[in-house]
Amino acid sequence: MPKFLIERNLPKVGDLTADQLVAASQNSCSVIRNIGPEIQWVHSYVTPDKIYCVYIAPNEDVIRRHAADTGLPADVITPIKTIIDPTTAEG
């Protein structure tokens, strides 16, 4: 199933408390349960003003539905073609 990188512009998101991040994560997981097994949240990176999320989903429409249902933006949705890391250099 395809993977996507979602860029969410959220000014000052890096200032959220641990409790606020827990609540946001719980909201996201609740929406995912309602959508069904066709979408999976892999992980997210929180920066000062953005969150970058990696999701597995059949298409961008499911990602957009999740964003709408959570009330979070999905400003840029980019399909991930492949993943590389230092072990890729080993051939």
pLDDT, tens digit only, all 91 positions of the chain:
999 999 999 999 999 999 999 999 999 999 999 999 999 999 999 999 999 999 999 999 999 999 999 999 999 999 999 999 999 999 8
Output the six-digit token pair for 9.
């512009």
Residue closest to 71 by CA, chosen among 10, 11, 22, 19: 10
DSSP for residue 31: H
Q: Whole-angstrom Cα distance, residue 7 to residue 63?
A: 11
3-class state of residue 79 by DSSP:
strand
Three-point CA angle 52, 35, 77, nearest 5°: 30
Domain boundaries of the chain, sorted by first residue: 3-90
* Per-residue pLDDT, 12: 97
**3-90 placed in CATH 3.30.70.3090:** yes
DSSP for residue 59: S
Stated pTM of the model: 0.92
